[in-house]
């Protein structure tokens, strides 16, 4: 994705969450709902297209590809996700995703439309649907299998893999308010909980900001030999490292969640994750409930210092 496209992506989010602009967005959304109902009379399908928010990225897209896959399996109809800027690398890495992706210019007027909001992993999908999607669509990729074989040189049966999300969660104020967690405090607590059940032989940290991790997470070396450097193959090398691990500590990132979903299917990984995903979701549900992106087998790491969650906006 070019710098200009990335700026447009961020702008689409910050404008939507900014005072008057947010109210205007809600009004436009409701107006579009009325129009959509009218147009829906002549949109008979049978194919369906899921429209995604501009801010969404890889992990978010995978939920919608899973939805398209699961709905196609149920109905036999063609179900698609509209192609977004930046998707090309995912389609190249996982070729079978192309079966559920459509260019916006090729959408027929009669095609049914839906909004891509399908992250309630245990509510909106069956365990069988998740497993089949991972096995048939993701793990069927020869390219990704090569990365898995490479990752296994670094990730042994007792390796702890930690995924740290930085990027725009911390560089943009509006996104930071909603998603930024106290990563250092969280990882201190998460590793202490992990040590109650497992003693790692080594630790591999995967992140979109390895320099920050090197500078701020040195305490991990007191637990086990720790590697902050990339293992190779960029983003999908990190994804493969998550996928082959048996012990995983995640931060609040859908990229990490998907690595854990794959690891759970492949080797029933043990997973620790923060008790919160984002502020907006946090305000709508009890902190005693794990985020709806979490699988039931995951361990939800709750603050022990009296705070509601790990979000910096709540601390």
Whole-angstrom Cα distance, residue 131 to residue 126? 9
Could you read off the pLDDT of 118-174 as tens digits, one per residue? 999 999 999 999 999 999 999 999 999 999 999 999 999 999 999 999 999 999 999
| 141, 172, 188 - which closes a domain | 141
Distances from the Cα of 315 to the Cα of 88, 169, 280, 309, 310, angstroms: 38, 16, 15, 7, 7
Instruction: Say whether both 128 and 158 belong to one domain.
Output: no
Distances from the Cα of 57 to the Cα of 9, 60, 64, 86, angstroms: 10, 5, 11, 8
Q: What is the mean pLDDT of the chain?
A: 90
Above 60 in pLDDT, residue 32?
A: no
Instruction: Say whether both 26 and 63 belong to one domain.
Output: yes
Check: CB of residue 232 under 8 Å from CB of residue 211: no
Structure tokens at 60: 């978010």
| 141, 172, 190 - which closes a domain | 141
| 124, 141, 158 - which closes a domain | 141
Whole-angstrom Cα distance, residue 254 to residue 260? 10
Instruction: Say whether both 294 and 158 belong to one domain.
Output: yes
Map residue 3 onto helix, strand or coil. Answer: helix
Whole-angstrom Cα distance, residue 5 to residue 3? 5
Check: CB of residue 121 under 8 Å from CB of residue 292: yes
Above 80 in pLDDT, residue 35?
A: no
Above 70 in pLDDT, residue 235?
A: yes
- Domain containing 201 — which CATH number? 3.40.50.11350
pTM: 0.89
Check: CB of residue 304 under 8 Å from CB of residue 297: no
Range of the domain at 158: 144-314
């Amino acid at each position: 994705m070019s710098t200009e496209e990335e700026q447009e992506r961020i702008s689409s989010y910050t404008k939507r969450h900014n005072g008057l602009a947010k109210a205007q967005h809600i009004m436009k959304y409701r107006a579009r709902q009325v129009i959509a109902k009218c147009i829906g009379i002549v949109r008979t399908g049978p194919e369906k297209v899921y429209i995604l928010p501009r801010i969404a990225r890889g992990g978010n897209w995978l939920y919608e590809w899973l939805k398209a896959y699961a709905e196609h399996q149920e109905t036999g109809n063609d179900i698609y996700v509209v192609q977004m800027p930046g998707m090309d690398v995912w389609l190249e890495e996982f070729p079978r995703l192309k079966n559920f992706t459509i260019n916006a210019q090729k959408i027929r007027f009669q095609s049914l439309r839906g909004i891509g909001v399908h992250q309630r992993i245990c509510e909106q999908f069956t365990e069988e649907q998740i497993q089949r999607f991972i096995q048939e669509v993701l793990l069927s990729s020869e390219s990704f299998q090569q990365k898995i074989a490479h990752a296994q040189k670094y990730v042994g049966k007792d390796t702890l893999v930690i995924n740290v999300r930085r990027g725009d969660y911390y560089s943009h104020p509006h996104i930071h308010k909603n998603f930024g967690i106290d990563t250092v405090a969280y990882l201190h607590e998460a590793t202490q909980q992990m040590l109650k059940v497992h003693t790692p032989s080594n630790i591999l940290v995967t992140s979109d900001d390895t320099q920050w991790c090197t500078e701020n997470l040195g305490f991990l070396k007191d637990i086990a030999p720790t590697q902050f450097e990339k293992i190779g193959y960029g983003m999908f090398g990190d994804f493969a490292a998550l996928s082959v691990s048996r012990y995983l500590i995640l931060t609040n990132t859908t990229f990490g969640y998907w690595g854990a979903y794959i690891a759970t299917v492949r080797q029933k990984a043990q997973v620790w994750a923060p008790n919160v995903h984002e502020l907006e979701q946090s305000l709508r549900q009890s902190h005693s409930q794990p985020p709806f992106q979490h699988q039931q087998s995951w361990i939800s790491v709750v603050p022990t210092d009296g705070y509601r969650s790990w979000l910096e906006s709540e601390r």
